[in-house]
Amino acid sequence: MILNIDGSRIGNPSTSGFRGLIRKSDGAWEHSFAGNIGLSNILHAELLTVYHGLVLAWELDIKELWCYSDSKIVIKLLSDHGNTCADFLAKFGARNPEAYSPIAV
Q: Span 31-48, mean pLDDT?
A: 88
**First CA to last CA distance, the chain:** 14
pTM of structure: 0.69
Q: For residues 35 and 18, is the Cβ–Cβ distance under 8 A?
A: yes
Q: How many CB atoms lie under 10 A from the CB of residue 59? A: 10
pLDDT at 85: 66
Q: Which domains does the chain show, CATH number per domain?
A: 2-95 (3.30.420.10)
State CA 30 to chain mean position distance: 17
Judging by beta carbons within 10 Å of its beta carbon (0-12, 13-18, 19+), is residue 61 exposed, middle or buried? exposed
Mean pLDDT, residues 77-103? 73
- The 8-class DSSP code of residue 29 comes to E
Residue 19 to residue 45: CA distance in whole angstroms: 9
pLDDT digits (tens, 9 = 90+) for 68-86: 888 888 877 777 655 666 7
Model confidence at 24: pLDDT above 90: yes
